[in-house]
Amino acid sequence: MLKINNLHAKIEGKSILKGLNLEVNAGEVHAIMGPNGAGKSTLANIIAGKDDYDVTDGIIELNGEDISELAPEERAHNGVFLSFQYPVEIPGVSVTNFIKTAINATRKAKGLEDMPAKDMLKMIREKSELLEIDRKFLSRSLNEGFSGGEKKRNEIFQMAMLEPKLSILDETDSGLDIDALRIVANGVNKLKSKDNAVVIITHYQRLLEYIVPDFVHVLYDGKIVKTGDASLALELEAKGYDWIKEMA
Ligand code: ADP
Ligand code: MG
Ligand code: MG
């Protein structure tokens, strides 16, 4: 599904990614771990198409197609979802209305009519029941006064509704309490299927107590320096990142 080969990227002239390789297949959950400043968020943002970065070398393919020239919206329409893509507060626009607009924008880009209101309501009902999200939450103003857990609930709801092929969840660690972690983990576990893939970026092993990844990668100094199964996360938790430094 996702194939990244020899990715090099700079920010403001500084090299951040230095030859990164990553391959993610449908049906898989990958975790990317690594110390602060390693380039994890940079990788997520580049896959999603944010333009603050100079990609100087490498290939990013989604389902066999080079996506490196596509705008973020086009990548989203091709099934890429990045958490916190829509962190804006929009007073007066509810969680539900926002997602309706996003879904219809995606449909329009594909030349489709708006989703019939009846189908939209059915989908909202099904997904919110699956994720145990109550109606009151759906009518709240987008991100306005949301707690950490509510922000996560909103993100996971967006992910459920947009049915992305590839979800990238950049769990920028700080402020994620146990409730928020559970919301993310339950969502990922429930939405996982043989047709989609999830990449979870995290600094800590905690989240991986609830989601068992198929692969764990260590990103260090702009490269994936080690790949293993879920036990690698435990090893990192026990040993820290210093031993990785010696390998890199
Ligand atoms: P991580 O998510 O692994 O903590 P980041 O990808 O956020 O790491 O950052 C990687 C490096 O790039 C860090 O050294 C950071 O200071 C630098 N960096 C990130 N964003 C910017 C930016 N907008 N301008 C300048 N430097 C940046
Ligand atoms: Mg960071
Ligand atoms: Mg980060």
Complex ipTM: 0.95
Cβ neighbourhood burial of 111 (10 Å; 0-12, 13-18, 19+): exposed
Range of the domain at 72: 2-247
Number of domains in the chain: 1
Ligand 1 atom nearest residue 34's Cα: 3
Q: What integer is the mean pLDDT of 97-122?
A: 95
Backbone phi, then psi, for 154, in 5-degree steps?
-65, -45
Ligand 3 centre to CA of 125 (Å) is 33
| Average pLDDT of the segment spanning 163-170 | 95
In the chain, the percentage of residues whose pLDDT exceeds 70 is 97
Res. 81 pLDDT band, cuts 50 70 90: very high
Average pLDDT over residues 195-215: 90
Which residue is listed with tokens 């626009």? 93
**What is the residue-averaged pLDDT of the chain?**
92
Report which of residues 65 and 204 the model is more confident about: 65
The CATH number of whichever domain residue 205 belongs to comes to 3.40.50.300
Cβ(39) to ligand 1 under 6 A? yes
Question: What mean pLDDT is predicted for residues 30-34?
Answer: 96
Confidence (pLDDT) at 139: 95
What integer pLDDT is reported at residue 174 of this predicted model? 59
CA 201 to centroid of ligand 1, rounded, Å: 14
Q: Is there an atom of ligand 1 within 6 Å of 34 CB?
A: yes
CA of 137 to the centre of ligand 1 (A): 33
- Least confident interval from 30-44, 84-98, 154-168, 231-245: 84-98
For 168, phi then psi, to 5°, come to -120, 115
Ligand 2 center–CA 204 separation, angstroms: 12
